Amino acid sequence: LPKVAIIGRPNVGKSALFNRLVGGNRAIVVDEPGVTRDRLYGRSYWGNQEFMVIDTGGVITLSKSQAGVMEELAVTTTVGMDGIPLATREAAIARMPSMIEKQAVAAVEEAAVILFIVDGQAEWYENIFQAGLVAADIEISDWLRRNYADKFAPLPISAITGTGTGELLDLVCSELTKFEGLDGFEEEKSDVPAIAIVGRPNVGKSSILNALVGEDRTIVSPVSGTTRDAIDTEFTTADGQKYKLIDTAGIRRRAAVAAAGSTTESLSVKRAFRAIRRSDVVALVIEALSCITEQDYKIAERIEKEGKACVIVVNKWDTIPNKNHQSTTFYEQDVREKLRILDWAPIVYCSATNGTSLEKIISAAALVEKERSRRLGTSILNQVVREAIAFKPPPRTRGGKRGRVYYTTQAAVGPPTFVFFVNDAKLFPETYRRYMEKKLRTDAGYPGTPIRLLWRSRR
Ligand code: GDP
């Protein structure tokens, strides 16, 4: 589901808006170690568009020292109104510790649309009473502008009475439509799995695509606007299964013509990121003879983070001389070592020029796509967890306390997400969480897809 993130400084009404948008659909609470507050996820609908709303809640919190700076800032700004140059105020803002915490960043990173909330009422008094807090708004808006959005569409709403929320939802949905490319005929093929073909320039993405779909490819959605920079092609396998291939390669050439070869590495990584976001499965193409680079790693990291299924495609396998079982094993170890973050992804060795093993890319993609949306029965799940705990119980704290798992449930698919209801999530250290994930994988499978384990304290 596409995601809509609600962000803003404390007390502007983020939670009220979240509740209005999701009603009783509050679904998953994401808890990551080392993060001060959870982010809340809830499903919402408007018309026939479904999306996930993320509340960053009290994410942007003020520590004591920050609160101190805020007071100071309020004073400086008030004085500023009496004639002190703006520069003083800006300097004060620059000194202010960043209030944009990890959770907000994570929420914004995964969102298709960002709702940046400010307090309309406060604006009324801003120059008199709330100058410091308005500076917080500015800090957030500057950060958004720098990193994510070049234009804001302002809209007055009341989360409590609902005034303006219809217009807000219209706007959100029209943005989501752009983002997803859901124009007109998109509807009927929404259940066609999308495979993004990504990788560094020249690894053979276009060659693979051409070999797979041939010359008579039907372009599903040509490039348009600024949000779309890949070409989608529909593709039917011999056994009649349909896929959408998201191709980031063809574009490079066009862009290269336009920008006279100035396409930078970071640009191609960003393009890969956007293709990953729209996909269900990512075929990460690397080249047999060359090393795995920082760029490959960045893409791999993003695949994991976005919870997409993945197949690692080692192309140009024909260029490796005297292949035998041993050299393949050796090669595989190297790839595993360098792309450890994708240690669950299958590897396919192929040659686009010779046409060898290309069909394996599709069969592997089909398999991992199914795994990504597989539900594990509750009884099997709890049995796996019980056995894992019996084999290795959570560590005891110095005070003699020990974590207890009451029960486990699969809250979501795409990627499979398991919620562990426990006595106290803090009693489950990172190492133990990793152990449990490993155990789930060995006992319940899930090749080719990331899985998520969430630990919820319940008293
Ligand atoms: P892209 O930038 O990732 O789309 O890469 P291209 O598909 O344009 O391929 C880059 C170059 O690698 C071209 O010269 C291709 O002919 C060559 N190439 C692609 N696949 C293979 C392969 O499997 N084996 C060999 N030897 N060369 C390949």
Task: Give the tens place of pLDDT for each residue, 360-390.
Answer: 999 999 999 999 999 988 889 999 999 999 9
- Cα(326) to ligand 1 centroid in Å equals 25
Question: What is the total count of domains within the chain?
Answer: 3
Distance CA 371, CA 450 (A): 10
- Domain containing 416 equals 378-457
* Angle 122-128-132 from CA coordinates, rounded to 5°: 70
- Cα(202) to ligand 1 centroid in Å equals 6
Residue 82's pLDDT band (cuts 50, 70, 90): very low
- Cα(230) to ligand 1 centroid in Å equals 18
Distance CA 346, CA 365 (A): 9
- Cα(204) to ligand 1 centroid in Å equals 4
Q: Are the C-beta atoms of 187 and 220 separated by less than 8 Å? A: no
Q: Is the domain of 225 the same as that of 304?
A: yes
DSSP 8-state symbol, 394: P
Q: Which residues contact 34 (CB under 8 A, 6 or more apart)?
A: 102
Mutate to test the pocket of ligand 1, among 202, 233, 245 (most ligand atoms within 8 A of CB): 202
Please compute, for residue 116, the number of CA atoms within 13 A of its CA located in the half-sphere on the CB side: 19
Distance CA 369, CA 361 (A): 12
CATH of the domain at 318: 3.40.50.300
Mutate to test the pocket of ligand 1, among 197, 200, 207, 315 (most ligand atoms within 8 A of CB): 207
- Higher per-residue confidence, 459 vs 272: 272
Instruction: Tell which atom from ligand 1 comes closest to the C-alpha of 203.
Output: 3
- Cα(243) to ligand 1 centroid in Å equals 23
Q: Is the domain of 156 the same as that of 209?
A: no
pLDDT tens digits, one per residue of 127-167: 444 444 567 778 788 878 777 766 677 788 888 888 888 88
pLDDT tens digits, one per residue of 21-71: 887 655 444 444 433 345 677 888 887 778 888 887 544 444 444 444 444
Residue 353 one-letter amino acid:
T
Residue 180's pLDDT band (cuts 50, 70, 90): low
The domain boundary, picked from 144, 178, 212, lies at: 178
CB-defined site of ligand 1, < 6 Å: 199, 201-207, 249, 315-316, 318-319, 351-353
Rounded to the nearest integer, the mean pLDDT of the chain is: 76
Give nearest CA residue, ligand 1 atom 9.
Answer: 204
Q: What is the pTM of this model?
A: 0.60
Q: Give the residue carrying structure tokens 């959770």.
A: 103
- Higher per-residue confidence, 45 vs 265: 45
Distance CA 367, CA 409 (A): 23
Q: Is the domain of 162 the same as that of 212?
A: no
Residue 391 one-letter amino acid:
F
The domain boundary, picked from 372, 402, 417, lies at: 372
Q: Is 150 strand, coil or helix?
A: coil
Please choose, from the candidates 272, 259, 280, the residue with its C-alpha nearest in 3D space to the C-alpha of residue 198: 272
The domain boundary, picked from 350, 372, 394, lies at: 372
The region, left, alpha or beta by phi > 0 then psi within -120 to 50, assigned to residue 126 is: alpha
Q: Is the domain of 10 the same as that of 42?
A: yes
- Cα(71) to ligand 1 centroid in Å equals 60
Give nearest CA residue, ligand 1 atom 22.
Answer: 316
Q: Are the C-beta atoms of 339 and 300 separated by less than 8 Å? A: yes
Q: Is the domain of 154 the same as that of 210?
A: no
- Long-range CB contacts (within 8 A, 24+) of 381-387: 381/408, 381/409, 381/410, 381/418, 381/444, 382/407, 382/408, 384/439, 384/440, 384/443, 384/444, 385/420, 385/436, 385/440, 387/439, 387/443
Distance CA 396, CA 152 (A): 50
Q: Is 224 strand, coil or helix?
A: coil
Give nearest CA residue, ligand 1 atom 27.
Answer: 316
- Cα(284) to ligand 1 centroid in Å equals 14
Instruction: State the pLDDT at residue 279.
Output: 92
